[in-house]
Every structure is written in structure tokens, then in C-alpha cells.
């Protein structure tokens, strides 16, 4: 895919007159709740077909999750690509200096001694966010 989902979802929101913000912002409780319901619905659908399949439905529901996540970020004025880059940066610090990986018995990658947590607040501040109580 050449375009970020952010560009595609912004096009969708523009075409249908849906909310879109350019800076991280609190939104109305009704809108926040609506986005939460959309996220929960798509996450539930993806969780179901992740178990049952078939693969084309799983692919569709995974795309729906990403689409509604990007849409929710857009509604809140969050540049989600930048947040994902920060989470990725943090995740890569789970690798030891010699490239060693520690895993749980179920295969989940564990945080090693060099792990750095993502600083999502710093990313949002760079996007213009002022946390509640700081304004």
C-alpha cells in the first residue's frame, strides 16, 4: 500500500462530512462514546473471525479495525502514524544489545533490560497537545 491509512481515512471523513481535527483535542462525550462503540464493535468482529475464519473475513475485519482506529485518531486530531512510529521505536528496544530476544513460553516477546517505554505524550505534545490541567 502506498498511502498511509491516515490519508485514505481522511478522504473518507471528508467525503461523508465526518469529524476531522488537525490538532490533538478533547471531543464531546457523545462523539467520544460513538467512536468507542465503533472500535469495540470492529474489535469484537475481528476477535471472532480470528478464531473461526475464514481468511477473507479475517482480512476484512482486520482492515475494519485499522480503518476505525485511524478514523478515531482523526476525530481526535491525533497523527496516528507518528504514534505508531513511537510505539515501534519502543518495541524494538525489547531486543538486547546483542540481538537476543527473551520470550515467554507462549512466544510473547518480553521487555529486556534495554527496554524504553513509548513516550506517546511527547509525540502528542509535538502535535500541539496540551494535557488537561496544563492549559
Give me the residues that bind Mg ion (CB under 5 A), please: 45, 61, 64
Name the residue nearer to Mg ion (CB basis): 44 or 126: 44
Report in angstroms how near the CB of residue 58 gets to Mg ion at its nearest. 11
Residue closer to Mg ion, measured from CB, 55 or 135: 55
If the CB atoms of residues 6 and 68 are measured against Mg ion, the closer one turns out to be 68
As a whole number of angstroms, the distance between CA 56 and CA 44 comes to: 16
Which residue pairs from 27-31 have beta carbons closer than 8 angstroms and sit at least 24 positions apart in sequence?
Answer: 27/75, 27/76, 31/75
Taking the C-alpha atoms of residue 15 and residue 39, their distance in angstroms, rounded to an integer, is 21
* CA pair distance 19, 23, nearest whole angstrom: 12
Q: How far is the CB of 6 from Mg ion (least distance, A)?
A: 19
- Min. distance of Cβ 118 from Mg ion in angstroms? 27
Amino acid at each position: 500500500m502506498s498511502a498511509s491509512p491516515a490519508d485514505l481515512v481522511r478522504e473518507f471523513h471528508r467525503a461523508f462530512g465526518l469529524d476531522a481535527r488537525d490538532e490533538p483535542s478533547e471531543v464531546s462525550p457523545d462523539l467520544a462514546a460513538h467512536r468507542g462503540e465503533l472500535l469495540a464493535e470492529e474489535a469484537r468482529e475481528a476477535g471472532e473471525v480470528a478464531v473461526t475464519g475464514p481468511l477473507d473475513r479475517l482480512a476484512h475485519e482486520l482492515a475494519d479495525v485499522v480503518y476505525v482506529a485511524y478514523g478515531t485518531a482523526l476525530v481526535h486530531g491525533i497523527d496516528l502514524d507518528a504514534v505508531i512510529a513511537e510505539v515501534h521505536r519502543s518495541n524494538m528496544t525489547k531486543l538486547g544489545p546483542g540481538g537476543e530476544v527473551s520470550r515467554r513460553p507462549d512466544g510473547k516477546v518480553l521487555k529486556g533490560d534495554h527496554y524504553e517505554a513509548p513516550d506517546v505524550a511527547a509525540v502528542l505534545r509535538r502535535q500541539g497537545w496540551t494535557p488537561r490541567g496544563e492549559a
